[in-house]
Structure formats: C-alpha cells, structure tokens
Structure 1
Amino acid sequence: MPSKKEALVKNALIIAFGNASVQLISFLLLPFYTSHLTTQDFGVVDLITTYSLLLVPILTLEMGMAAFRFLIDAREDPKAKTRIITNVVQLAGVILLVLVGFFFVVIQFVHIPYGGLALASVATAVLPALLMQFARGLDRIKAFAASSIVAGLITVSLNIILIGPFNMGARGMLIAGIAANLVSSLYLFITLRIHRYIDFRTGDNAMRRELLKYSVPLIPNTISWWVINAADRTIIAIFLGVASNGIYAIAYKFPTIFTTIFSYFGLSWAESASVHINSKDRDTYFSEVMTASVKFFGSLTCVMIAFMPIVFPLLVDKAYSEAYQYIPILIAASFFSATAALYGAIYIAKKKTKDIAMTTIWAGVLNVVLSLVLIKFIGLYATAFAAAVAYLVLTVYRHHDSKKYVAITYEGNVLIQIALFFIFTTAVYYYNALPVTIAGAVAAAGVAVFLNRSIVGIAKTKIFSKLKGLPPDAVIAEEELNR
C-alpha cells in the first residue's frame, strides 16, 4: 500500500499526464487554428469560453466541490455515497432546467452570437464539472485524468475536421467543445457506474442544505479570481491604454505556465489534505508536505526567472519587449498564490469554505486598491506589484489563521533559503548580460537540485527500481552495499 506522500505524488503525476498531454497537443495546433479562423471567430469562441468558465461555478453552485469533499468522508459507506450523489444530481437537474428557461427569456431581448450553441456550451460544461468531482471523491483519479484526455482528443479531432475540410469556423469549434463535454461525461458516467449511486428515494432537504452550506461560499472565491483579472485589465486599459494591456497579457503568459504546473499538484493535495485531516500524525504530515512544496515550487519560480532571459527573446517579438520587465514580479505573485492555495486545502478539508471566501475577497480588494493607488506612479509595475503583495498577505494570513486547525512548521531555514534564491535569480535577470545570465541559469539549476535533493533521490530510486525490476527498498539496499 503506497504511503501518504507516494499517493500524493502519484495522483499529481496522473492528473498532470491527463491534462498536460492534451494542452500540449492544443498548443502545437495553434498555427492550424490561427490560419483557418478569423480573429473575429477566435474572439467569439474565446468570449463564450471565458463566460462559460465564469458561469459554470455559479450555475452548479459549486456542487461538484461539495460532492468531492463529502464523498471523501463516505468512501467506505455505499449508502452515504448514494445519498450524496443523488442529491447533487437532483440539484443539478433543477439548475439546468432553470438555465434553459432563463436563456430563452434572455434571447428575446439580447442578441447572443451562436445563441443555441452558446447555451449548449454552458449547459454541457456543467456535466463534466460535476462528474469529474465525483471521480475525485470516489478515489477514481485515473478515470478523472482519462476523461480529460478523452475530452481533449475529441476537441482536437473535431476541430481539425470541422474547421479544416468543413470550414465551419467558430461554429465548428463550439460544436467540438460541446461534443467533447458530452463524450467525456458519458465516459465518466459509464466508467464510474454512476447509475448505481442514484436512488431518488434518498433525496432529502437536510442533505441538500448541508451540501449547499459547504458549496455556496466557494462561489465568490471562484468568481473573485475572475473579477480580479478582469479588474486588472480594466485598470490598465483605462489609465495606460489598450496597448499596455497587450504588454501585460504577454508578460502574464509565463506565470500561467507556473500556475498550470502547480494546478496538477494542487488537485492532488486538496484530496490528500481532506483524507488525512484527522490523522494522528496530521501536523507532521502537513508540515512535511508544505516544506517540500515550498522548496519545489519556490525553486521552480527561481529557475523560471533564471532561464527567462534566454527563452524570452526566442518566443516574444521585439514589439513586446517591455513585457520582460514585469515577469519576475508576476511569477513571484503566482508562487504566493500557489502557497495560499496550499493553505486553502486545509480549509477545504475542515469544510470551512466561508473562511476561504472571505480571505480571498479581502486579498482581491487589496489587489485592486493597490493597483489604483500606484498605477499613476509606476505604471504597469503597479498591477504586478499589487498582485504579489495581495497574494503574499493572503499567504501570511492563512498561515497564521490555519494554525487553529493544523500546526504547520517549516523545516530549517527553508523560507530564508528560497528568499535568498529569489533575490539572486532576480538580480541576474535584471542585470541581463548573456555570460552572467548563462552562469546564473546553470547555478540556479544546481541550487534547485540541491534544495530538492530528497525529492531527486526518491525519483532516482523509483526510476532505477523500474529499470532493474526491483522494489525501491531493494535498490536502496543495493546502493548501501555498494558504498
């Protein structure tokens, strides 16, 4: 039976494989999309997709997250699993009916591009949003990852066919997305055998109230990040102009890579934290994971900054060269955001979703206020700096506040080490002389390996055990003998 840490890492890798493989394919097909779609088509699809991401958490009342958390506690209780899933399905059914009715009223007064397809895009997005959380809650992480692969392959395949030979443009992309949602949902429904967990006799108001009490506070938490991003872009556009918004958007692309990588681990950590929140060795386990996570993602932050002067000119046109100035601050902001999310998993585990919502909202307010105050004085640095400060304050607050649930302690001077590492790589970044940059990048890679030597050692042992066909313990014993 795998240890807690092994299960955590294994699940993170499974999630990463499921998502990263599809994202890579989509990225490689970007030239195909841009050559076959007009900017207007791309803009319409992006707008519908963006609003789908905003609307799904609202329309589902974040019931998927409630199902995930409650199913973790019910993994050994078939009746409880049936009760939870049945009540979530009932609520989702009512929500979908209301959505369809509301949509048909709205289109009488407002023109919505590709109206029917836009509705179908949002409505079908609700299905995988719920079913994927069922998979996580039922400890079917491979099915969770596989559904992402299924959805990605369907999307890519149909896009190539509908946009290419059939020349359907934006309509083709929307149809591909709808089909992907339906097929991946059907896959999960069959694989998880969801029909076994639906018994409408188990539906009751008490269960629904309990689920909603947990899920509803998560809505402002989810929306706030969307609002913060939109507010930043709006502030920049008003005070500095649309061109500056373009510069900022390019600078933000690189921290997004960090955020994407962290998201794979974040999903796995949220589950592990919920499973082990009442374990006897909880404080030790949580402290070890937090220490290792800060080391790893702090090192990733610094390595990205160190290599950015080499990568940036290869990927970005000179017209956007100003974006270079803001990347380290935005990557640091992403690191603080990730660390705050690590603490957020504790609130999820303790079912204290109101605390998550309130801390996130206050961080968002701080972000917007700082941006408004500073933007006239330091330009685009204001929004980048405001984001970093807001997420840092959020992290520090959650660290102290979460002590009433879990006593997190960091090993040694890990925080000082990461801080010094960041100062070093940032200084080399802004010095921006090629010989110094190359030396700094090599040094950063070496420091990252050194700081994460325990993780590197475990990975090496795992790899050699696979190659030699031996269990990891046997490989360790063999290495000790060779010494």
Structure 2
Amino acid sequence: MSKLLKNTAIYTFFTVLQKGVGFFLLPLYTVFLSPSDYGMVTLVTSITSFLSIFYMLALNNGMGRYYYDYNKSHELIKELFGTVFNTVIFSSTFFSIIFFMWSDFFFSPFLAEIPVHPFMTLGLVSLAFEPIFQVVQSMAQIKQEANKFSIINFLYFLVSVGLKLLFIVGLHYKSEGFLLSVAISNGIFFIYSLISFYTRYGLSFRYSLLKKLLKYSLPLLPHNISGWSMTMIDRVFISKLLSVAATGIYSIGFQISNLVNVFVFAFSQAYSPFFFEQMKKGDEGKNAIIKVSTIGVLVISLVGSILSLFSKEVVSVFVSDVYFNSYTVVPFLTFVFVFTGVYIFVAGPLFISSTHIFSLVSIIGAILNILLNIIMIPRYGIIGAATASLLQRFISTLIYAFFGYRSKDSIDFQWSYIFGIPVVMFVIVMLILHLTENIGFIYTFIIKVIFIFIVIFIFGIIFPDLKIMIKQFVFKKIRNKGNK
C-alpha cells in the first residue's frame, strides 16, 4: 500500500505540474489561436490518436500483463521488452508508409474544410515517432519506476511547450506551429527512446512470445478504439455537423475538464501494477483493492464536483472571451473522467483472464457513442456531444462492472459507494448550477463553498480510513526525511 501511495504521489505531482503549466498557457493559446485554428489542431490530433491504436497493437497492455510472470529473469525481461519494442517499430514503419502514400484518400473525408497538407502531414510525422517513446515509457511504468517515468514525461512537455511558444507566439505560425512543435518533440524523444532501449536491452526478439502477447493484446484493440471514441470521436462529428470553430470551443471545455483526468491518470499509473501484484495475494490482496477503489472513487468524485461547480468562473478567468461558451460542457465532460476512474477499478478483474470481454463491451460502447452523437449534436450542439459522452461512459462502465463481477477473478467491490457516490454528486452539482444560474456571484460562491465543506465533512465521517491513510503517508515522509 505504501508503494502505491508513494508512486501515486509522484505521478500526481508531476502530472499536476505538467497540466498546471499547460492550463495556465490556455489564455495564451486562446489569444493567438482562433476557435477555427484550435479546432484544426484538435481534429488532426483526434485522427492521429485513433491511428496510434493500430501502431501500438495494445502491446503495452501485454507487457503489463506478463511482466510479473517474467521478472524473475533479466533475460526473459529482455525478450519480453525487446519483442514488444521491435514489433512496434515494424508496425509504425509499415502504417506510416501506407498513410503517407495515400493520405488524401484516407483523410479527406474526415477533415471537413481542413486541407490534408500541411496539417495532416504534420500529424503523420508526429505519429511515426510517438509509439516508440510510449513503449519505453510503458516499460518504466510497468517496472514501477515512477520517478523516471514522470521526469522524462515532464522533459518532453517542456520541450513541446518551448517549441509551441516559439512557433505560435514568436513566429505566428498558428495551427501549423502547434502541429510542427509536436512533430519535432516526438522526433527528439524518438531518438532518446532508441538509444535508451538498445543500450539496455539490445535486439532481443522471440516469435513465440509475440504470438502469446498478441493473443492477449489484440482482443483489447476494440476496447482501445472505444476509449478513443469516448474522448475524440465527438470532435469529428462536431466538425462535420456544426463547424471547426465549434470543435475549438468544445475542445477548450474538454481541456478544462481534463484537469480531473490528472488525478485519474496519476492514480491509474500507480494502480495498474499494484492491482496485478495484489491479485497474486488472494483474498488479502482483494481486500486491499476494495479499500483503495472506494477511496479512489471518493477522491475523484470530489475533485470532479469542485471543478464542475466553478467551471464558469474558471473559463472566465483563463480563456479568451470567444471561447466563453466552453463552460457549458465542463460539468458533463468532468464526470466522463470521473466514471473513467470508476471503470479503472470495476474492469480490473477482466484484465486477468477475460480480455475478450473488452471487445464486446467496447464495440457496444463505440456504436452507442456514435448514435448518441448523431442524434444529440444537431439538437443540442456541443452540450449534446458532452451529454452523449457522459451517457456512453456511464453505460459502458455498468456493463464492465457486470462482467467483472461475473468473471472467475471477480472482486466484491462496495458497489453502493462505487456507483452511488459519483451519480449522487453529479445530480447535486447540476441542481446547484441550475438553481444559482441567475443569482449574484457572491451568493453563488458561498453556496458552492458551503456544499463542498459539507461533502468533505460527510466523507470524513463515512470513510475514516481515508484520513488514516493520509496521516500514515505524511508521517512516514516526515520520518524518512528526519532519518536522512
């Protein structure tokens, strides 16, 4: 448990630092990039993130699954990592050649009024370099090297931000500058990844191991596609059904909501290896997972509620006036990430021996999200897109919970808390936002703050373990510093 808390703290610190700097750059981006410019960047990024699923072949998931079966021998680890690394190099090269040669054919139907060149071309350059860096970072995460993972990620972020400031602010390249900065950053860290990996693990590769990895990983591809559809496909529909400018406004709301994903992502980075480790301990390990999951959902729900309540104030302060309407989608998208946190816990048992379930649920989720976007965007605009994402994520999480509970590796979570806390919090938040819509700022602020303190007080009574865990972690840190 202490290792989980330590790694979560490291991931959270660096992720909050990175997202915090990125968040405070939003005013700059929204001044130098119009909604149409930002919409172009978002649409290209959405498409390349979809393609990256096929470049990676979900082999990073396979590494996480088999690492604890192979970590007794350095030679076996070399074979595991080497097989994944070299396969991803081959797949990245193969797909990049295909998409560069026929880029107009593949991408013109999805780019609305955006030209394929130079925008999609820059996106493909970024995509060619990115998977190798992601594989190396996945290795650090799997080995629970939280410091290394976080520092390298932060260095990448600093390089990327520096180049964006140069190209967007200094040279006024706008959307082209944004995409160019990402391409150069990916190229730099692609070179780092090659040197870092081959000096440590060499050219190891085993075909029989690749077949074993693919047998586990390929059924996860539809699941990863569903994850993309949940977070990205709405931008494609907004661009086609509304406008590229509307995509830009929606994307700013998404970026603000993404602050909650800082906590979800940071926790998941530490939770994934913790989960596989605890599952090997039987009932004792499952009890630890149940405790961590309940507290995790509580914290994520509280953070999501705070951001949702103050969404209008945050948008007013941090983004240009032309993006003001982005605040309307923040509460919905924030709770998309809250239920993503719930999913991480309830779907855990399926990762042990039932990965085929992900294909079924992912296909259902993807179809549902597409249908909801088609129905709701023309009627309700960007709010319709945000609502569609929330409904899809909630329903998919329920289905994952059902199959996870029925799997042979099932865990008897505290279901009333796991689902009850985020649902009740969302309903109350939306009610408060509705009732305070036409009330003065001071009264609205007081009501929201009082609500937050009441919730924290109630949670402290219901979940005393949360306070105990925090105190133990803090005191341990103090003792460690005192012993140095």
Band the TM-score falls in, shorter-chain normalisation: 0.7 to 0.9
Residue 188 (structure 1) shift: 5.2
Q: Distance in 2 between matches of 1:167 and 1:330?
A: 31
For 1:270, give the aligned amino acid: S
CA shift in 2, pair 1:352/1:183, >3 Å = farther
CA distance in structure 2 between the aligned counterparts of 1:445 and 1:356, rounded to whole angstroms: 39
* Aligned match for 2:148, one of 143, 148, 157: 143
**2:300 alignment partner in structure 1:** 297
Structure 2 counterpart of 1:90: 86
How far apart are the structure 2 equivalents of 1:62 and 1:24? 29
- The alignment partner of 2:57 has SS state of coil
Query: Which residue of 2 is the match for residue 65 of structure 1?
Result: 61
Residue 410 of structure 1 aligns with an amino acid whose one-letter code is: Q
Using the TM superposition, give the Cα deviation of residue 383 of structure 1 relative to its aligned residue in structure 2, in angstroms: 3.9
Kindly tell me: are residues 135 and 225 of structure 1, through their superposed partners in 2, closer, same or farther at Cα, counting changes over 3 Å? same
Q: Find the partner of 1:306 among 303, 309, 314.
A: 309
Q: State the partner residue of 2:109.
A: none
Where 2:410 maps in the other structure, the secondary structure is coil
Partner of 2:72, secondary structure, is coil
Match of 1:256 in 2: 258
Instruction: Write out per-residue CA displacement over residues 453-478 of structure 1, whole angstroms, 9 at most, x where no aligned residue.
Output: 54344334544554576789xxxxxx
Inter-CA distance 134–456: structure 2 relative to 1 (3 Å threshold)? same
For 1:211, give the aligned amino acid. Answer: L
Which one-letter code corresponds to 1:331 in the other structure?
A: T
Q: Any residues of structure 2 matched to 1:165-244 within 5 Å, and which?
A: 173-174=178-179, 176-187=181-192, 194-200=198-204, 203-229=205-231, 231-233=233-235
Q: Does 1:439 align with 2:439?
A: no
The superposition leaves residues 419-468 of structure 1 with CA deviations (integer Å, 9 ceiling, x where unpaired) of 54444333222111342541332331342254155434433454455457
Match of 2:15 among 2, 15, 19: 19
AA aligned opposite 1:356:
F
Q: Which of 277, 282, 288 lines up with 2:291 in the alignment?
A: 288
Distance 1:43 1:417 in 2: 34
Does residue 334 of the first structure (1) align with residue 356 of the second (2)?
no
Structure 2 Cα separation of the partners of residues 39 and 286 of structure 1 = 43
| Aligned twin of 1:476 | none
Task: Give, as a single letter, the amino acid of the residue that structure 2 aligns with 1:448.
Answer: I
Return the letter of the residue paired with 2:452.
A
Q: Secondary structure at the match of 2:369?
A: helix
What is the CA–CA distance in structure 2 between the aligned matches of 1:215 and 1:17, rounded to whole Å? 30
Q: Distance in 1 between matches of 2:381 and 2:179?
A: 38
- CA–CA distance in structure 1, aligned partners of residues 312 and 34 of structure 2: 33
Tell me which amino acid in the other structure corresponds to 2:331.
P
1:412 and 1:42, CA in 2 relative to 1: closer, same or farther beyond 3 A? closer
Identity of aligned residues (%): 20
Work out the CA distance in 2 between the residues paired with 1:51 and 1:255. 21
Uncovered stretches (5+) of structure 2, i.e. residues with no partner? 107-115
The letter of the residue matching 1:128 is F
Q: 1:126 aligns with which of 106, 111, 131?
A: 131
Q: Deviations over 1:338-390 (max 9, x none)?
A: 21232233333x15332223212212322333454566776665444433332
Deviations 1:253-305 (A, max 9, x none): 44322223311112221221122222121321221122111211122232333
Deviation at 1:132, TM superposition (A): 0.8
| Bigger Cα displacement from structure 2, 404-413 vs 100-109 | 100-109
Note if 1:430 corresponds to 2:434: yes
User: Does the Cα contact within 8 Å between 1:428 and 1:437 map onto a contact in 2?
Assistant: no
Alpha-carbon distance in structure 2 between the residues aligned to 1:49 and 1:61: 19
How far, CA to CA, are the matches of 1:312 and 1:38 in structure 2? 16
Cα offset, 1:58, TM superposition: 0.9
Q: State yes or no: 1:407 paired with 2:411.
A: yes
Q: More deviation in 365-374 or 261-270?
A: 365-374
CA offset digits 1:123-149 (Å, max 9, x no partner): 211221111112122332221111101
Moved more, 175-184 or 369-378: 369-378
**Which segments of 5 or more consecutive residues in structure 1 lack a partner in the other structure?**
473-483
Bigger drift between 153-162 and 110-119 goes to: 110-119
CA distance, structure 2, for counterparts of residue 226 and residue 51 of structure 1: 10
**TM superposition shift of 1:207:** 1.0
2:24 counterpart residue number: 28
Aligned-partner Cα distance in 1 for 2:43–2:295: 38
Residues 218 and 37 (structure 1), Cα distance of their counterparts in 2 relative to 1, 3 Å cut: same
| Residue number in structure 1 paired with 2:112 | none
Question: Counterpart in 1 of 2:101?
Answer: 105
Displacement of 1:215: 1.9
Aligned residue-pair number = 464
Q: Distance in 1 between matches of 2:24 and 2:332?
A: 28
Change in CA separation of 1:37 and 1:377 when aligned onto 2, cut-off 3 Å: closer
1:328 is aligned with what amino acid?
P
Task: Return the TM-score normalized by structure 1.
Answer: 0.80
What is the alpha-carbon distance in structure 2 between the residues aligned to residue 329 and residue 152 of structure 1?
Answer: 27
1:326-347 CA-partner distances (Å, limit 9, x unpaired): 5434433332232123223333
Contact 1:329 1:385 in 2 (8 A): yes
Asked whether the 8 Å contact 2:235–2:247 carries over to 1, the reply is yes
Q: Is the 8 A contact 1:251 1:327 kept in 2?
A: yes
One-letter code aligned to 2:293: M
RMSD, aligned CA: 3.8
Provide closer, same or farther for how the CA distance between residues 45 and 207 of structure 1 changes in structure 2, counting only shifts above 3 A.
Answer: same
Q: Deviations over 1:162-188 (max 9, x none)?
A: 556667666665554344334434555
1:57 and 1:228 mapped to 2: Cα distance? 14
Deviations 1:67-103 (A, max 9, x none): 2332233222212211112222332232244235425
AA partner of residue 133 (structure 1):
S
- Max Rg structure: 1
Whole-Å separation in 2 of the counterparts to 1:59 and 1:446: 47
Is 1:455–2:459 an aligned residue pair?
no
Q: 2: CA distance between counterparts of 1:470 and 1:89?
A: 38
Residues 266 and 342 of structure 1 are in contact (CA less than 8 Å); yes or no, is this contact kept in structure 2?
no
AA matched with 1:444: I
CA distance in 1, matches of 2:190, 2:314: 38
Residue identity in the other structure for 1:366: L
TM-score, L = length of structure 2 = 0.80
Q: Distance in 1 between matches of 2:376 and 2:34?
A: 37
* Counterpart in the other structure of 1:267: 269
For 2:469, the aligned partner's letter is I
